[in-house]
Structure formats: C-alpha cells, structure tokens
Structure 1
Amino acid sequence: MASRDSSFSSLTLLFIAFLVFISIPTEAAIKQYQFDIQVKNVSRLCHAKPVVTVNGRFPGPTIYVTEGDRVVVNVTNHAQYNMSIHWHGLKQYRNGWADGPAYITQCPIQTGSSYVYDFNVTGQRGTLWWHAHILWLRATVYGAIVIKPKQGAPPPFPQPSREEIILLGEWWHGDVEKLVNQGANMGVPPSMSDAHTINGKPGPLFPCSEKHTFVMEVEPRKTYLLRIINSALNDELFFAIAGHNMTVVEIDAVYTKPFTTQALLISPGQTTSVLLQANQLPGAGRYFMAARPFKDVPLPVDNKTATAILQYKGIPNTVLPILPQLPAPNDTEFALSYNKKLRSLNSQQYPANVPQKIGRKLFYTIGLGMNPCPTCVNRTRLTASLNNISFVMPQIGLLQAHYFNTTGVFRTDFPDRPRTPFNYTGAPLTTNLETSQGTRLSKVAFNSTVELVLQDTNLLSVESHPFHLHGYNFFVVGTGIGNFDPAKDPAKYNLVDPPERNTVGVPTGGWTAIRFRADNPGVWFMHCHLELHTSWGLKTAFVVEDGPAADQTVLPPPKDLPPC
C-alpha cells in the first residue's frame, strides 16, 4: 500500500513538474533571413523581362515570425540600383535604423554591399508586409510578413483550416525606372501599369497569361483565412470572390470587430485579413477572385481586372470560373460605407487606447501643382505638397543627422497648419499658393498626444490619398467629405472603438483625422503611399524627441549602417 502511495506521489510530482515546465514562457526566438537583391528574367503577359527580385522570386519570400521574436535579415544587393527595405507597419521601437526608407532612416545599400536589419516584433500580431523603399523598385520588390500570436493567445476568431496570402500588385511591360525617368524629363506622369496582379500573376483575362494564374484549392465546409495585401504602387483596389462573402477580422495587424461583406476596399500599403467559408455545394465549381481599381475622379488608370481562381477540390480545370460582382470603379458610396464599418475590437485583451486629450493639433493640406521646369519638354513639372511645401529628399539619412546633431540637413519648422487658409475643396484652383520646396520636419515632444487632420484640396484636382505613418499605429477618429470644420466635426469623432492602423485613405475632396501618442523616439517618415505622389514631394517626417529615461531614447546606430 505504501509502495502504491509512493508511486502515485512520484507520478503526481512529475505531472506537476511537466505543467510547470510547459507554462514557463520560452525566450524569444531569433528568426534569420537572407535577402539577395538580384535581377531575374520574369515572364508575365506575353514576354519575359528582367526585374529586380529578392532571392530570384516575384513576389518575394514571406517573413514568418511570432510576436516577441527577434528578426535578423541580411540584405545583399547584387542589382544595379541602390536598395533599401521597409518593414511596413512594424513599429521599430527606438530602432529607426531598421525602418528602411532611403535617406530618411538610412542611406541605401549600394550595389555589391550588405546591411543587416535587426529588430524585435513587440506587441503586434497579424498581417504586415515588406517592400523596397527607394525609387519605384517596390513594383517587384515586396512580400508578406505574418506575425503569429504568442502561444496561449489565439486570435479572437475561429481557427481556420488553412491560411493563404493574397498580394495585390501591378505589372509594367517596360522597365519601371526608365518609364519614371522619361516622365520626369517630360514633366508628366510615367506610363500607367499594363496589368494588375494577384500573387504576381494577372490571370486569364489578359492575353498570353493563361499559365500566369494563381489558383487556391478549397474543400467544402472548411474555413480559410486570407491575408490580403495591397502592394500596388498607385491604385486603391476593390477585391471580391464570386459566390462567397468575406468576414473582415483584422486590418494592418490589428484585430477588428468582425463584419461580413461581398467586396472590400484596400488602399496601397494596407492589409486586410478575412475569413472565407467554402460553403458552396460540393461539385459547385470554380470561382474568380478579382481585383480592380477604385477611382472616383477621371484620371488615367489601368482599369483591367486581375483575377485568380478559387477552385473546389475535385473540380476539373475545364469548368469555367464565375466572375464576382465588383463595385463600379467610381463607387464612392461603397468606399465610404465600407470604411465606416471598420472598428477596433476594443476588448479587455485588445483595448483601443485612443488619446482623449490632445496636446498638439496639426492640420495638413494635400495639394497638387505645377512648377516651372526649363529642362522639361512641357516646360513645367507636376509637384505635390503638404501645407504648400514639397518635400526635398536629403543627401544623408535624416535619422543619422538627428542622432549626431548634424546641422544643415533639415529644418524643424514644418508649419502646423497652412499659412494661407482657403476654400480647400471648392472650385478647381490652378495656382500653387506659393508652394515652396524644402526638407522641413515637425518636431514633436516625447509622449505627447497628437491629432492630425489631413485635408484633400482641389489644387489642380481632388483625389484620394492613402497616407502611411512610419514607426506608429494611429486611430482614425473621423473622416468626411468637403472642408473640415473644427467647430463641428470633432463632435462626431469616434473616440471609443475607431479603427487602428498604419495607413489610411483620405477621401477624394474630403478629410481624415487621426490620433496617436508620440512614444517612439526618432525620425519617422509620413507620406502618400501612391508612389507617383510621393515622388512628386507629397511627404514629410516627424522628429520625435527622446524621453527622460534611458529606455526612451534612440538606440545607437549599427556598425554596418550604409554610408552615403
């Protein structure tokens, strides 16, 4: 009897020890990746062409990490262009050296050189992405980032049977950089893309592209998680799947209150994760996924629809797919109503910590214009500006200049509001309103609360603009059409569960208000994520000062920081 008690006691202790062992949190893993920037011939439509790739792949490899991991990516540049990689949406706390925008947080990686991006993934989980952040090279240099939640903290939605990454992009027949330079020399926009793509493939609606179609096989009655990323350079996109609804559960790596929709709108730089139920009858067939631009102003755009195929297991490829009903290209009503449905989860585990009291209020107008250009064919050149200032890129990294107190690189006098108020969205204006050029930044006190209203204007033309803020998430507390009214519009703000994200669309002829706490010291880029407008100067940066504590200051630069 005593022997059995002893045996039972030993087994109990072993079991308890096992429970204690598995409950002890493991140290963060180090995830290492090698990115080789190289030129490779890639065939998409009717011919192959050399494009810049990562590891010879287009799109590039997916970064898989778990919340809390340390990520080390060694980037070696074998291409003829200088290169930098941005880890879009990762907050990079105190570590702007790993953020990636060329001449903002680093000088680019020159041909034949390497740079190690070394950063931690803290307090984030979900879908983000990475891309080249120099010239227009992100046309082919991009890929997904998937951040798994910590063990024991499953997502607040049903476990899917499988996940799939859906990267939406653009394709040019010609060399993108040559087209951009040709446009700049003429003073006009470069040629628009020749196709849109889904996972790098345009789909069978384009000539010579039958084999260039992404196919996702599903099984009836199973649920799938689609991680959708808009990697396109210049187009907001509608996305839909024939015969199926989607349930939105996450945007920009932030969980949302779920809602079901037949189609979604996604701006360049944004990510949206949806649950898809394969609920069609067995043997039902094949269904097109489709992406098409949203453009509610008469501007030239590649209006062709990119397609992929959702195929039920066992269905032969001879069955013709069904096309989805996408919103009309100019369906502003759908775009506005869709964005209104986005809400933060705001649960006890995932609260929405919206700043309630604001210490600094900013108002930035978005404008397009024309400047004289004696060397251009048209004698003028299109420009873009914030508060009538068109940003001039420096010759060395702004973060480096800030950290080492290098004078003469930038000024910190970017105005909090435009010098000359006007009827921003009234009749079209063709003047520049004294648009100036300069490398002017806004200095922000550490841990201050900031509200920024981005106001579209009718300088040359109204247009929607997706704005991305590096180093931070922010809350989209309000949006509207027309001129922002500081006396009335703040009363309509959502300060309870507004969407939290890193990229937001400013509606055509309207405004968007965002709030964030400036608790990440460094120099952080903010720009329109339409590459065309960014190259014209629609960008600026915040200098967030160091905090009083040692762990509230910018980290020292790495030893292999690329030289200029």
Structure 2
Amino acid sequence: MNKLISFLFLSLFSTTFVLINSEDPYLFYTWNVNYATQSPLGVSQKVITINGQFPGPRINCTSNNNIVVNVFNNLDEPLLFTWNGIQQRKNSWLDGTLGTNCPIPPGVNYTYKFQVKDQIGSYYYYPTTALHRAAGGYGPITIHSRELIPVPFDWPQEEYIVLVGDWYTKGHDTLKKFLDSGRTLGRPDGLIINGKHGNGDGTDEPMFTMIPGKTYRYRICNVGLKNSINFRIQEHSLKLVEVEGSHTVQNLYDSLDVHLGQCLSVLVTADKTPKDYFFVASTRFTKKALTSTATIRYVGGKGPASPALPEPPAGWAWSLNQFRSFRWNLTASAARPNPQGSYHYGKINITRTIKIVNSANTVDGKLRYAINGVSHVDPETPLKLAEYFGVSDKVFKYDIIKDDPTAEASDKVVVAPNVINGTFRNFVEIIFENHEKSVQSWHLDGYSFFPVAIEPGTWTPDKRKKYNLIDAVSRHTIQVYPKCWAAIMTTLDNAGMWNLRSVLIERQYLGQQLYVSVLSPERSLRDEYNIPETLPLCGIVKSMARPTPYS
C-alpha cells in the first residue's frame, strides 16, 4: 500500500513538473521581403512582396502561441513591421514602430519573437517605415481559440481572408515626395481586394467558393490608406461574430462599414440559388465612390453574378447608428483582454482624462498634421531606447501637450517628438474630438480599449451620462465622424512605450501620432520583459553599454 501511495505521489509530481515547465507552442516563419513589379489596378508599379506574395503570407495561430518571424530585408531602404492589434504584452521592444525600434537595414535580417497572449480574432501586419504601406507588404494574422474554449458559433466550413483597401497607382517613393514637399496625396486611384481589382463584369476568376447549405467565415480588414470601406455580398446576409478580437452579439446586416485599420468577421451561409455572386466593396464618405468586386462561386452552380451591384449606404449618420448596434458578447467563452476588469469597466474610477484634438497647419510652408498643436517627428534614437538607456532628456521631453488643449494650442503647430507620461495601471479616458469634415480613424498599440460613445458636437463631462458602460466591444481602433467626438476607456496595465496614431497614412506620416510611456515603478520582469539581446541599437545609444537587466 505504501509503495502504491509513493508511486501515485511521484506520478503526480512528475506530471506537475512537466506542466509547469512546458511552453506554449512555437510557430516559425521566414520572410524574404522584396520589390516586384505588379499591376493591382492595371498599371505596372513597384510592389512590396513577402516570399513573392502580395498580400503577404498568413500568420495562422492559436491563442498563447509564440510567433517567431525571421525577416530578411531585401529592399534598398530600412524596414520595420508592426503587428496591428497584437498587444505584445510587456514587450513594446518588438512593436515595430520608429518610436520603439531601429529599422532593419537593407540586406540584413532580424527575427521578431512575440506571444499572442490571451487574444483571439482577426488582425494584420504591415510595414511602418517611410511610406512602404502604400506599396503593400501587408498580410493577415488570424488567432483561434484554444480547443478547450468553446466558440459561440458552429465551426465554419472554411475561413476566407479579405484584405480590402484603397490604392494609388503612383509608387510609394513618389507619394513620399509629395508629402515631403508639403502636398497631400489626393484621391486614391482605386480599390483592391486581396491585391486585385474587380470590375463587376463577371470575367474575374472566383476568389471564393461556397458549397450550397454550408456556412463560411469571412475575416475582413480595411488595410487601406485613406478611406472607410463598406462591403456587402449580393443577396446574402452578414452575421457579425467578431470585431478586432472580441466576440459580438450576432446581429444580421445587409452591409457593414469597416474603417481604416479595423478588422471584423462575419458568417455567411450559402443558402441562395447556386450560381455566382459578387462580394462588393466601396469607399465611404467620398464624392465619388471607388468600387471593387470579387466573385463568389457556388460549387456546382450555374450562371454568372448579376451585374446589378447593391448600392452602399449614404451618409455618416447611418454608419454611426451601425456602430451603436455593436455589442460585446459577454456570455461567450474566449481569451479576453484584461480579463479581471473586462466585465465591470463601467465601475472603475477614471484617474485621467486626455483630450485628443486633430488639426492641420503649415510649418515652413509645408503641410503638417498635429495632435493638440504638436506634430510628431521621429528622432534618430527611438524613444523607447532613449528612455531605457537613461538619455531621454537628450532626445525628447515628456508631456509637451496638455490633457485639455485650448483652441489656440490646436491652431498652432509645433514639430517635436510627442510623448505622454502615463501612470502604470491608471484607468484613463481618452476623448477624440474631430473638428473637420472628414472621418478620422485612430489606433492604439499595446492595448484593447472600450469605445463607450461616439456622438455629434463637442464633448463635455456631462456627456458621460450617455456612455455605454456595460457591453462596449473591446477593440483597438476607433473611428470619429465629422464634427463629432468619441470616448474610449482603458487601463494602462501594459508597461512599455506605445503608439497612438491616426491610421490615415498621410496624417500619420506628417505627424498625427504620439507615444504613451508606461513605466512600471518596480522595473521588474513581472511587468516588462528585458530588452532582447539581438535588438538593433542606433542613434546615440548605439555604442552604449546596456543597462542591468530586470530581474
């Protein structure tokens, strides 16, 4: 009997030891980044490909997987990638923005390693250097729930990736010269879906196929440069099931708006007459809509898609009402951002309110975009490195903008690195005020937040009475309609240096972004990872000795 007890004890101890020391699975990718000549809109131009693909290869993983991407930069310029919406818990070292990283030089490779910790959903990656995003280099990231965690819908027959966005036929280097000289980019030349433009004439090969009676998941991301997008499928309903990593209440829609930088998932059932149908995408809030199509073919079906394309909705008020209909599915089991506070964010006291006012003006005769009167410029030494090496005073100043800017401050533009000093684990409210006539879109790295309201007019503290403090969809990108404001809430519980930016490429490039520095007082590995030993150094820290690692 004693031997049996000893055997059971040793077996339990051995099993526990294995579980404690086991790591989550690793997925390895090797990317060769090159230029190639392609014609997304029928005009030959230089496009950035990854392993010869445009769009780039899919990172298809499961919650908590470790992702290792070895990037070989074969371009003639420095290169960085960011992982749009991947929170990089405790690891802004690999966020892939110029405020956190030195770019990968031409002819050099660098290996990104990060974990998709406690996340599910639809995301994408793209290059952040120069105007490379205008040349492509983007691709999808899909994160599935672990097998033991139920998903609030039946497993679809298949998943389809739809990367849709506006596109210019001029090369990215020409577009960059426009912005550097003080010009705007102007109107895009067309719209592409997965790197292709469809005219709705039925001559394109099918991009997607569906078996009659089966249900499919379409993951749609707006990877464009300037415009919001509306999409619909002829005669089919769209059941919304996920927005930027959060399961939603499953409402049915005829069409959906997806704004710059945003991703969502819909379920589509092949329950119509077996033939071809068009997936239709159009730009929104433009004088003349740009439209592209992709053919969906029923297996065994006969007949072309109807040339009569469903019209997009009109006006931003329709889009605002659709936003109000989005609700977080609080009964769904899934990886959740900030799980301890996810269900009760409306009961947490606000410790800081930051108002973000976008503006535009000229500096030395050239166009600049600003936040609260400051137009961000990236210094030679990345902000995160300057802070970590203790030389931030030689590179930037904290809090050069005010939390509540005056009208005069937003009218004048100062060009400088723009860094907010955040307090670790504070619960903050950020108000975006859009005084302009165009729709704006904002993204926050490192966090998911709760968009509790979008309303016309100007924000005042009294507006909090109308906040959705129960089931706002946790996400990382928010649109702000013309002459409107938007309010978001989040906990600054992810130590690091994180980018808050306009997703409109010309606004971002010309200064409409800032960084939020969130330092843990204890400077321990519990709160933030050490700087990777292989992380490239540049600027004034290039030859400095690395500080003592956290313990």
TM-score calculated relative to the size of structure 1: 0.86
Q: Deviations over 1:476-535 (max 9, x none)?
A: 011101111222x10011111011101110111101000000011110000000101111
Q: How far 1:322 moved relative to its partner? A: 4.5
1:405 to 357, 378, 390: 390
Q: Which residue of 1 aligns with 2:279?
A: 289
2:76 aligned with 1:86: no
Could you tell me which residue of structure 2 aligns to residue 366 of structure 1? 358
Distance 1:54 1:262, change over 3 A: same
Say yes or no: does 1:546 pair with 2:520: yes
Could you tell me which of 303, 321, 325 is aligned with 1:337? 321
Are residues 1:516 and 2:490 paired?
yes
What is the CA–CA distance in structure 1 between the aligned matches of 2:305 and 2:331, rounded to whole Å?
Answer: 44
CA contact (8 A) 1:286 1:322 kept: no
Cα gap change, 1:195 to 1:357, in 2 (>3 Å): same
Displacement of 1:372 in angstroms is: 3.5
Mapped contact 2:359–2:411 kept (Cα < 8 A): no
Q: Give the Cα separation in 1 of the matches to 2:508 and 2:197.
A: 26
Partner Cα distance (2:179, 2:206) in 1: 32
* 2:143 matched residue in structure 1: 147
Matches within 5 A, 1:155-304: 155-185=151-181, 187-205=182-200, 210-211=203-204, 215-281=207-273, 283=274, 285-295=275-285, 303-304=289-290
Residue correspondences, number: 514
2:45 corresponds to which of 43, 49, 74 = 49
Aligned-partner Cα distance in 2 for 1:214–1:538: 39
Does the 8 A contact of 1:482 with 1:510 survive in 2? yes
Q: Alpha-carbon deviations, 1:158-184, whole Å to 9, x = none?
A: 221111111102333221221231343
Structure 2: how far apart are the matches of 1:238 and 1:64? 25
Q: Residues of 1 paired with 2:218 and 2:179: CA distance? A: 36
Unaligned runs of 5+ in 2: 1-7, 335-341, 539-551
1:354 has 2:354 as partner: no
Gap change, CA 1:368 and 1:462, over 3 Å in 2: farther
Deviation of residue 382 (structure 1)? 2.1
The residue that corresponds to 1:114 in the other structure is 109
State the Cα deviation string for residues 171-209 of structure 1 (Å, max 9, x = none): 332212212313432x22124332211111111349xx9
Shift in alpha-carbon separation, 1:472–1:254, aligned structure 2, 3 A: same
User: 1:388 aligned to 373, 385, 395, which one?
Assistant: 373
Q: In the alignment, which residue of structure 2 is the partner of 1:3?
A: none
Query: Does structure 1 retain, via aligned residues, the 8 Å contact 2:374–2:401?
Result: no
User: What amino acid sits opposite 2:42 in the alignment?
Assistant: C
Q: Secondary structure in 2 aligned to 1:551?
A: coil
- Partners in 2 of 1:46 and 1:156 — Cα distance? 42
Please report how far the alpha carbon of residue 44 of structure 1 lies from its aligned counterpart in structure 2 after TM superposition.
3.0
1: CA distance, partners of 2:344 / 2:203: 48
SS in 1 for 2:418: coil
TM-score (norm 2): 0.88
Structure 1 Cα separation of the partners of residues 65 and 256 of structure 2: 31
- Supply the RMSD in Å over aligned alpha carbons: 2.4
Structure 1 pair 97–183 and aligned structure 2 pair: CA distance change class (3 A): closer
**Cα deviations by residue, 1:98-125 (Å, 9 ceiling, x for unpaired):** 1111x21101111011111101111101
Asked if structure 1 preserves the Cα contact closer than 8 Å seen for 2:40 and 2:192, the reply is no
Among candidates 288, 298, 302, match of residue 312 of structure 1: 298
Deviation at 1:383, TM superposition (A): 1.8
Indicate conservation of the 8 Å contact 1:65/1:147, yes or no.
Answer: yes
Letter in 1 for 2:317: E
- Amino acid across the alignment from 1:203: G
CA distance in 1, matches of 2:84, 2:405: 32
Q: Deviations over 1:2-28 (max 9, x none)?
A: xxxxxxxxxxx9xxx9xx99xx89741
Q: Distance in 1 between matches of 2:206 and 2:483?
A: 36
Q: 1:199 to 1:214 in 2, by over 3 A?
A: farther
Q: Secondary structure at the match of 1:395?
A: coil
Task: Structure 1 unaligned segments of length 5 or more: list them.
Answer: 1-12, 374-380, 423-430
State yes or no: 1:105 paired with 2:89: no
The one-letter amino acid of 1:403's match is Y
Q: Which amino acid in 2 is paired with 1:408? A: K
> Paired residue for 1:420?
406
Deviation sequence 1:25-66 (CA, Å, 0-9, x none): 974111000111111122334343332211111000000111
